[in-house]
Amino acid sequence: MANKLTLALLQLPVGTDVVTNVREAVRCVGELKAENPLLQLAILPESFNAPYGVEHFAKYAERVPDGQTCRALSQLARQLGIYIIGGSIIERDGNRLYNTCTVWSPTGQLIGKHRKIHLFTMSIEAANGGGVQFDEAAVLTAGDDVTVVEIGQHKVGLGVCHDKRFEELARIYRSMGCSMLVYPSAFCICQGPMHWELLQRARATDNQLFVVTCSPARNNMSGYVAYGHSMIVDPWARVQREAGEGPELIVEQIDFDLVDEVRRQIPINKQRRTDVYTRAQKQ
């Protein structure tokens, strides 16, 4: 069992009250652990504690690690003896706001903090002259560092949502020894059908590792409508498990032996022509 990991994805609805959102997350994680004693890791969605939207960020921002959401996650991890990847919350640090993912150990210690590196900006035009615009950078500050945590014996690279569009980040994580990437994500419904599964399978096959995403449940009445479809993709780029659109709790076991198997059978990392790439970049 040393090379296996039992994890849970909690595709939760997100309302306007932080206390209610966090209480529901704590309740669901606790129930999943009671039903699945072997559960080792729980993963929450991006912006799981408060509505996602530029207009909401400053109102709901908290400090890390002493804000109410972080205190609840730390206590929960310690009580259940599991790791928790706490989706993301809006972090307030002085005058700056960040979209931040926290990771908690089974002793309740903060072992990782990833500030979203690539802030989500889009301006998608519609055929009828309308369209959709969104710009996190209008309010948030981008993170400036990669984040690797150890979950048991395995290195896990972290990103938040839009970070998964950037292959370079995933490649760096592979070079740092990661066998799994986790992206708490709230893709909107306008881009989800086109790119949600595609990007995860691409990152998985490019780097021959597991890719895991956790989305909020879809709420068609919210200002920002999340796509849902939380997903686990294996190193062969096969979808191992996928949620639907609404609230859903998934428990799944992944086998890290598969990472070694894929990398042994198709050894692309040993075949990389870094000399060619370096020469081309200089031209």
Average pLDDT score, the chain: 95
Q: Is the pLDDT of residue 61 over 70?
A: yes
In sequence order, which residues have a C-beta less than 8 Å from that of residue 172 and are 6 or more positions away? 146, 157
- The 10s digit of each residue's pLDDT in 211-246 is 999 999 999 888 889 999 999 999 999 999 999 999
What six digits make up the tokens of 150?
A: 């150890």
Greater model confidence, 270 or 141 = 141
Host domain of residue 128: 4-282
Residue 224: give its domain's CATH number: 3.60.110.10
Residue 131 has pLDDT above 70, yes or no: no
- The strand pair at 231-233 and 239-242 is best described as antiparallel
Whole-number Cα distances in Å, 50 to 116, 117, 157: 17, 20, 24
Q: Tens digits of per-residue pLDDT, 14-54?
A: 999 999 999 999 999 999 999 999 999 999 999 999 999 99
Number of domains into which the chain is organized:
1
- Active-site residue numbers? 46, 116, 161
What pLDDT is attached to residue 186? 95
**Coil, helix or strand at residue 157:** strand
Does the model's pTM come out above 0.75?
yes
